[in-house]
């Protein structure tokens, strides 16, 4: 987006708006069915999609400035000549809900209120119009069709029900694809449903990644006959390592993940066959990982997104910044920063970077069975604040997850984990990793966790590896093991997401 802060569009912008508007009507018409959506996004050049995305985002800025009292006031209080970013601290907390809506009120027809989980602090309420929800549900439905095909399946929606944004909206979205049962994260109900309807049908089970793992672990303990069933997995709400995907693929035929944020909406982006192929190639080849994602030790999640629904930028801190460009938004989000680290590339730009390291993206598409839509790519490393640093080395939750799934036996017994720092009375600091496990903790098991995690972390994380060479005595992690629901995990039973980070102790 052109970041210049103005209250009225320039002559050039007015011309671009005039050119883009009829194209927008065509795009909306093309998305009425999945078939026309697929054709349109196979034919549209990535350069056009990039231009249209920028123009629509600029129009959304002027629309918010004109119709949203809080945004107008927010802009007028900024001293920068550029359009400022918004986030929870600077915008959401500063203005009342109604003031952040069109015409200063959320009393528009058929408004729905969602609540964020509160997993990062105070729960927030988010208002959405009927039309914007319908558009979001449609894209989620198309994404599911793209990834899992047109066969009939029964969706078992295991996302948490209630006021939370994901659960009820995923259920509504996937009703467009067929039959849905909204069980919530109730393992007994899910397994009962599978047994009642039997292996004659295919099932799509949705849920947070750790929950899907927990589901198959419990089912294995009960001797559930997975070999008779065809199951698909759809995850979301947090990151998922390729190690966890490999673990889930022992029981699921396909596993894909979506990206969204309650601050924004569900279904902003989704994994596709080619995006997973790219990520797995980057896991195997350091040159590919470096060419695509830079020197960060983490392997990011890789998605594709619809640029005429969402305009995504990357700021100077390598955080992705979102503008939802649709006019249906009741509470517009302009240059909104959820503080996720990541990046974006058009389809052509991704092809060029891969070609530079000898990889043909078209071959990846063919090999992965991708549907060949030329949507741009988004990659996400995770939240900026979910790290610990020791001796200059950043350690991320994603690092520990990859280490954990390197040893399948440890992964099978682990329910969730946390990161923190351990400080001794003399001021020495070392990493502390806390694991919630289904076994009785003992000293031998602690030593096994420590040896496995440490060896893999040295191999995986370049910063940690360098620090280990210089300060090995201070980087041996302190391992703490807890039974399910004990210690720092005692509150997890009532949370819709399992905590993976604790502040320094």
The pLDDT score that the predictor gives to residue 138 is: 93
Average pLDDT (375-384) is 89
What pLDDT score was predicted for residue 460? 85
Residue 226 burial (10 A CB sphere; 0-12, 13-18, 19+): middle
| Summary count for the chain: helices (H), strands (E) | 18, 18
Q: What is the pLDDT of residues 247-274, one digit of tens each?
A: 999 999 999 999 998 889 989 999 999 9
State the chain's mean pLDDT as an integer.
89
CB distance 293 to 281 below 8 Å:
no
SS3 state of residue 398: helix
Residue 276 has pLDDT above 60, yes or no: yes
- pLDDT confidence of residue 164: 72
Residue 156: strand pairing partners? 181, 205
CA 301 to chain centre: 8
| 458-466 average pLDDT score | 84
What's the whole-number mean pLDDT along residues 40-50? 92
- Predicted confidence (pLDDT) at residue 23 exceeds the cutoff of 80: no
User: What is each CA distance from 212 to 3, 158, 283, 419, in whole angstroms?
Assistant: 41, 9, 22, 22
| pLDDT at res. 505 | 37
Task: State residue 452's pLDDT score.
Answer: 93
Instruction: List beta partners, residue 435.
Output: 417, 481
pLDDT at 425: 67
Name the residue with higher pLDDT: 455 or 499. Answer: 455
Task: Say whether 108 sits in a helix, a strand or coil.
Answer: coil
Tens digits of residue pLDDT in 234-251: 998 878 889 889 999 999
- Asked whether 97 and 133 are in contact (CB, 8 A), the reply is no
The boundaries of every CATH 3.30.300.30 domain in the chain are 388-494
Grade residue 82 by pLDDT with cuts at 50, 70 and 90.
very high
User: What residue ranges of the chain are covered by domains with CATH 3.40.50.12780?
Assistant: 108-271
Average pLDDT over residues 77-97: 93
At residue 234's C-alpha, the angle toward residues 232 and 239, to 5°, is: 135
Beta bridge partners of 383: 340
Residue whose C-alpha is closest to residue 338's, from 394, 235, 271, 260: 260
Domain spanning 108-271, CATH class: alpha beta
Q: For residue 428, what pLDDT is reported?
A: 64
Please say if the pLDDT value at position 392 is more than 80.
no
Distance CA 288, CA 432 (A): 31
The pLDDT, as a whole number, for residue 195 is 97
Q: How do residues 309-335 score in pLDDT, each as one tens digit?
A: 999 999 999 999 999 999 999 999 999
pLDDT grade, residue 398 (50/70/90)? Answer: confident
Q: Which residue has the higher pLDDT, 496 or 327?
A: 327
- H helical segments located in 31-112: 34-43, 46-67, 69-76
Task: Give me the pLDDT at residue 424, please.
Answer: 67
**pLDDT computed for residue 115 by the predictor:** 82
- Bin 482: left if φ > 0, else alpha if -120 < ψ < 50, else beta: beta
The number of CA neighbours under 13 Å toward the Cβ of 461 is 27
- Domain 388-494: state its class: alpha beta
Q: Name the more confident of 482 and 32.
A: 482
pLDDT band of 228, cuts 50, 70, 90:
very high
Q: What is the pLDDT of residue 414?
A: 92
Region 425-429 average pLDDT: 64
Split at pLDDT 50, 70, 90, the class of 426 is low
């Amino acid at each position: 987006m052109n970041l210049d802060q103005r209250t009225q569009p320039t002559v050039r912008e007015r011309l671009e708006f005039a050119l883009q508007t009829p194209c927008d009507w065509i795009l909306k018409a093309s998305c009425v069915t999945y078939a026309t959506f697929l054709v349109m996004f196979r034919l549209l050049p990535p350069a056009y999609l990039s231009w249209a995305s920028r123009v629509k985002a600029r129009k959304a800025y002027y629309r918010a400035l004109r119709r949203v009292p809080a945004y107008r006031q927010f802009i007028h209080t900024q001293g920068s000549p550029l359009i400022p970013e918004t986030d929870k601290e600077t915008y959401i907390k500063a203005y009342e809900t109604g003031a952040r809506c069109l015409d200063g009120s959320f009393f528009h027809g058929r408004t729905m209120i969602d609540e964020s989980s509160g997993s990062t602090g105070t729960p927030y309420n988010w208002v959405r119009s009927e039309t914007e929800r319908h558009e979001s549900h449609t894209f989620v439905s198309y994404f599911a069709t793209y990834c899992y095909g047109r066969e009939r399946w029964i969706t078992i929606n295991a996302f948490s029900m209630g006021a939370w944004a994901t659960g009820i909206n995923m259920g509504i979205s996937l009703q467009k694809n067929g039959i849905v049962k909204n069980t919530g994260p109730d393992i007994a109900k899910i397994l009962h449903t599978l047994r009642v309807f039997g292996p004659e049908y295919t099932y799509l089970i949705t849920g947070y990644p750790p929950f899907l793992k927990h589901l198959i672990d419990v089912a294995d303990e009960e001797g559930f006959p997975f070999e008779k069933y065809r199951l698909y997995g759809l995850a979301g709400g947090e990151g998922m390592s390729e190690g966890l995907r490999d673990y889930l693929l022992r029981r699921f035929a396909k596993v894909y993940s979506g990206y969204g944020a309650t601050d924004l909406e569900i279904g902003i982006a989704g994994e596709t066959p080619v995006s997973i192929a790219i990520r797995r190639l980057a896991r195997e080849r350091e040159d590919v990982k470096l060419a695509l994602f830079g020197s960060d030790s983490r392997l990011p999640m890789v998605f594709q997104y619809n640029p005429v629904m969402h305009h995504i930028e990357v700021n100077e801190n390598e955080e992705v910044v979102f503008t939802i460009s649709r006019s249906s938004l009741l509470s517009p989000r302009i240059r909104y920063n959820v503080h996720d680290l990541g990046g974006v590339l058009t389809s052509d730009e991704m092809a060029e970077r891969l070609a530079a390291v000898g990889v043909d993206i078209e071959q990846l598409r063919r090999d992965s069975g991708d549907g060949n839509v030329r949507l741009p790519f988004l990659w996400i490393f995770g939240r900026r604040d979910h790290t610990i640093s020791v001796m200059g080395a950043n350690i991320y939750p994603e690092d520990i997850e990859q280490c954990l799934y390197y040893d399948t036996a440890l992964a099978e017994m682990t329910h969730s984990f946390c990161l923190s720092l351990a400080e001794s009375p003399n001021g020495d600091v070392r990493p502390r990793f806390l694991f919630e496990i289904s076994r009785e903790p003992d000293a031998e098991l602690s030593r096994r966790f420590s040896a496995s995690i440490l060896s893999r972390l040295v191999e995986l994380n370049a910063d940690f590896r360098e620090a280990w060479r210089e300060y090995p005595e201070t980087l041996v992690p302190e391992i703490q093991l807890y039974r399910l629901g004990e210690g720092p995990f005692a509150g997890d039973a009532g949370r819709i997401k399992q905590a993976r980070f604790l502040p320094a102790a």
